[in-house]
Every structure is written in C-alpha cells, then in structure tokens.
Structure 1
Amino acid sequence: MKQAKVLTETEFKRVMAVIAQMKHAPRNRLAVMLSHLTGLRVGEIAALTLHDVFDADGNVREQLRLSAAITKGGHARTVFINEKLRREIERYKTGWSNTHSPGDPLLLTQKQTAFSANTLCQLMGQIYRQAGIDGATSHSGRRWFITRLAHSGVSPKVIMTLAGHRNLTTTQRYIDVRDEMMKAAVELL
C-alpha cells in the first residue's frame, strides 16, 4: 500500500494559499494545522470537542487528552499544543458566536454538524487536490509531523509516544527520507 505524501514547505504553503480562498477557510486551515502540528489522525480531529481544546475559562489548553474511545489503538494519550497551533486555534475562535457549549464539536460541517472521520478525510483530499499535490491524503499531515520530529533529532521513543504507536517499527514506517535529507546527513561528517 502506497503511503501518503509528506508535503514539502513549498507544497504546505500552497495548501495554505488554497485554503485561504475557500468558503470555510478558518475551519479548513485549523483541520490541516491540527494534522500537521499534532500528528492527529482525521478520526481523532473529527472527534475533538470544545472541552478537549478549551479550559473552563475559554483558554486553549496546553495539551489535549485523547480518550481511548477516539484513538485508533484504543489507548488514551496526551497531545501537546505548540505556540503556533495555539495561535491558530485562537484565530479560529475569534469567528465564533457565544452559542457554543463545551460538548460541541471543535470543527463543524457547513450543515453545522460534527464531521465524521470519512467526511474530514474527503475534505482534506479535496484541499490537496485543489492545491495540485498528487499523493497527499488525510494522513499526509501525520507523516509530516513524524518525519519532521525524526529529522529534528527527537528521540524515537518520544515520537512513538506522541504518535500513539505501541511499536517503534510502526513509527519508523512513517518517516519520509528524500535525497536532500541523505545529502545533508552525509555533509555533517
């Protein structure tokens, strides 16, 4: 089975430019950013509620606690939110009315219902196609997240834990290797 493409910086910028022209740009941008900056699967993103992301005072949490019920492996895990994602969530929140309750989904379809994993998967595929990126899927953000961490020197055990994998070999399959990465590695010698 062919793996999802890991976007280059140029491709990622193109995706963001395409999203900026879309009808539901803030929502779509947040969905893609959640995928790339947390490594969440689309089903996990679709299942996020406002309570998962915001504390009782309406502030963005420092970490998301995913219950076993929404993760692929059925194991609860903690996902950390970096400053870039925190700003993105705050930006998304500014477009809201005050009619939201903590149990509401973070991301809503245009019919104001929760996304299913399949619907969010289709939306991400549509975004990547509109950006002209062949081979990118809803899993591209997750692979980008794991690859970036690996190439930044983060411990494999930490990456495995952040990804919610139980086995290091699973995590290793996600890491993309390109010629320019191998050339840069050899240049370190």
Structure 2
Amino acid sequence: MRRILEAASEAHRRSFAIMAYAGLRPNEVRALRRRDVRLRWERGEAVGGFLSVREGQSHGQTHTPKTGQREVPIAAALARVFGSVERELRDGFVAVNDRGEPWGQWGLDQAFERVRKRAGLEGWSVYCLRHYAITSWLRAGVPVHVVQRMAGHKHLSTTQRYVHYLKEDLEEAGRRIARAARGLAHAQSSHRE
C-alpha cells in the first residue's frame, strides 16, 4: 500500500487513501463532500474522526448506497491525509483529480492504473484498495458484523468472503507455533542432558 500512496500525486493520494483506510467504493469516493468528514484533533494534529457515507455517484447520477448511510471511523493515517480538509468548502468534494475537479466515472480507475504502473505493481485494480481496508479491519480483530456495516455490505456472506484471505495469516501463525514448539522441545532436551 505504501508504494501506491508514495507513487501518487497529492490529489490522487487523498482519493486512494480514502479507499485504502476507510474502505469506500470508487462511486462513494466520487460523492464524498467536506461536510461528510468529521476530524478529531489532538494538540493541533488530526488523529481520527468519522466519515459519513451518504451517497455514491455513478454515471453522473447521485444515489443513496444500497445499505443506506453509514459511518466509518477515520484511521490515524487517513486523518493525517485529511489534515487540510477543514479549510475547504463545506459542500466541496473531498476527492478531486489533479485539476481540482470532481472525479469522472472512470477517472479513479485510470489514475490508479498510472500510479500502479509507476509503483511497479502487477495485477492490482483500484478495488484492491478497498480490499486492503476490509482485510485490515478483520486482521485488527474488528467483529465481522461491524466490518459488514463499515464496508456497506448488504449481506454478511459478502463480508465473510474476505475472511478467507486471513487463512494465510493463520497458516503463518501455524508455522510460527511449530517453530516455537521445536525450539522449546530442543531447549528442554538440552536442559535434561
């Protein structure tokens, strides 16, 4: 994720960070307004807050998300990216292209493609950013029903599809436990001698 955000321009970085840390869909990123961002500040630094996902924008039409409005916590990494948003117009779009204009229907996809190539990554799509957010929440131990609400999934079964990616984490945990057990067994046999 770091490579994508480092390779992105400042305008692109904000848009991609919204997807990577708040799990918004591209149509939700396109519709996000300044009034939808509530930052929490500590000692003059943005450290968290909430995003209100009220609408999406597809093919020039604004619509309410299928699961209704939702609140998504703002991670510290995203809060730092949002630090200057409070100086922007309340009705202005939060995620804009390099010209300062709202993203068009395919603009985020095309911008991501360019940044992905600059970062030297193959096989990624803009939706990988949302996937990253959702799996990060699950890895952090956020209950699956809470992740469902944050992601805006209508059905729990959709959210549970992301859980299978965590099997890699479980397999790695199994390998670590096995190594630790071997080390403990070796230490015990050496101690007996």
Q: Settle same-fold status: TM greater than 0.5.
A: yes
TM-score normalized by structure 1? 0.74
Residue 16 in structure 1 maps to residue 9 in structure 2: no
Superposed displacement of residue 87, structure 1? 1.4
**Letter matched to residue 22 of structure 2:** T
**Letter matched to residue 121 of structure 1:** D
Deviates more, 1:154-163 or 1:100-109: 100-109
Deviates more, 1:133-142 or 1:101-110: 101-110
- Where 1:137 maps in the other structure, the secondary structure is coil
Superposed displacement of residue 111, structure 1? 3.5
- Contact 1:44/1:71, CA 8 A, preserved across alignment: no
Partners of 2:161 and 2:18 in 1: CA distance: 21
Aligned to 1:5: none
Change (3 A) 1:52 1:117: farther
C-alpha distance after superposition, 1:39-69 (max 9, x if no partner): 01111111111222258xxx97821222255
Aligned to 2:71: 78
Aligned to 1:167: 155
Superposed displacement of residue 112, structure 1? 3.1
Alignment of 1:120-131 (within 5 A): 120-131=108-119
Change (3 A) 1:129 1:179: farther
Structure with larger Rg: 2
Change (3 A) 1:178 1:152: closer
Aligned to 1:9: none
**Letter matched to residue 158 of structure 2:** T
Superposed displacement of residue 93, structure 1? 4.3
4+ runs deviating over 3 angstroms: 68-72
- Where 1:115 maps in the other structure, the secondary structure is coil
Aligned to 1:6: none
Alignment identity in percent?
A: 24
Residue 30 (structure 2) aligned to one of 36, 39, 46: 46
TM-score normalized by structure 2? 0.72
**Letter matched to residue 15 of structure 1:** I
Partners of 2:177 and 2:134 in 1: CA distance: 22
Aligned to 1:3: none
Partners of 1:135 and 1:72 in 2: CA distance: 28
Any gaps of 5 or more consecutive residues in structure 2?
40-44, 57-62, 179-193
Partners of 2:166 and 2:144 in 1: CA distance: 19
C-alpha distance after superposition, 1:115-154 (max 9, x if no partner): 1242112212221122121121111111111112222222
The RMSD of aligned alpha carbons is: 2.8
- Where 1:79 maps in the other structure, the secondary structure is strand
**Letter matched to residue 6 of structure 2:** A
Superposed displacement of residue 179, structure 1? 7.3
Change (3 A) 1:65 1:145: same
Superposed displacement of residue 173, structure 1? 2.1
Residue 104 (structure 1) aligned to one of 74, 92, 102: 92
**Letter matched to residue 76 of structure 2:** E
